[in-house]
Amino acid sequence: MIDTHCHILSGMDDGAVNADISMLMAQMAAADGITRIIATPHIQNNYPSAENIQNATRELNHRLHHWGLPITIVPGAEVSMTMDLDTMMTYTINHTPYILIEFPHSHIPGNSKDIFFQLKIRGYHPIIAHPERHPDIIRQPKILFDLHEQDVLVQITADSLIGRFGPAPQKCAEYLLKKNVVDIIASDAHSVNDRCPVLSKGIRAAAKIIGREKAFALVTKNPLAVIRGDSLSDCAHA
């Protein structure tokens, strides 16, 4: 499996608090059957540069290799929708056209549709992080359906499907799966105690709704296309 959303790099944001926790997170992910992780530090007002992320990723890969852990870290980011367009385009996943974007928790900016459009016409593929946890989308999922219609991709959090964020995000995640608007499932892990790098439990829950094969594509086939910069069109909207 490939985890496309994980705060595993230490000293960048509210994720891994030190290098040892990064290693423990990698160990836990490997035990869950994850072979690759996209490191996605928050890009907000006080943010690491893309170069910092790449260097930290390289360093962590060296350590993982040294300790014989069968897992590879890929550089990425989780960019806030409040950043300007030029900044967003700096933080792509693994130098591909894919960009992971999160809405501010308080609201969905009125110009979101336009920002996604601007990214699309420049050849980028935006992915929305954890919409099922956003109060506006829980209230009005049609906002997300409209964006998905415009080929904006949707990534939900595995733990939402097991109720980690409460009944409303869980119900919303299940609804989005049923409506076939979910392209990727990821951990959005921050630590090893609470929000952990584990996908299998969420996938088991997803499999009960959309079947095992489709559920696994959301953590295997689709994330692989993202890492490679390939199109998801073969499977994303199937």
Q: Given the rule CB under 5 A, which residues bind Fe ion?
A: 78, 188
| CB of residue 150 to Fe ion, shortest distance in Å | 23
Residue nearest to Fe ion (CB): 188
CA–CA dist 11, 91 (Å, integer): 18
Q: Which residues does 200 contact at the CB level (< 8 Å), separation at least 6?
A: 1, 32, 33
| CB of residue 133 to Fe ion, shortest distance in Å | 10
Per-position DSSP letters for 38-101, written without gaps between them: EE--EESSS---HHHHHHHHHHHHHHHHHTT---EEEE--EEETTS-HHHHHH--STTSSEEEE
Q: Which of 231, 223, 233 is nearest to 185 (CA)?
A: 223
| CB of residue 213 to Fe ion, shortest distance in Å | 27
DSSP-H helix ranges across the chain: 19-31, 50-66, 85-90, 112-121, 135-139, 142-149, 167-178, 200-210, 212-217, 221-228
**Which C-beta is closer to Fe ion: that of 48 or that of 235?**
48
**Which C-beta is closer to Fe ion: that of 78 or that of 174?**
78
| CB of residue 171 to Fe ion, shortest distance in Å | 21
Quick one: CA dihedral 42, 44, 45, 51, positive or negative? positive
**Which C-beta is closer to Fe ion: that of 14 or that of 114?**
14
| CB of residue 68 to Fe ion, shortest distance in Å | 28
Under DSSP, is residue 9 helix (H, G, I), strand (E, B) or coil? coil
| CB of residue 100 to Fe ion, shortest distance in Å | 8
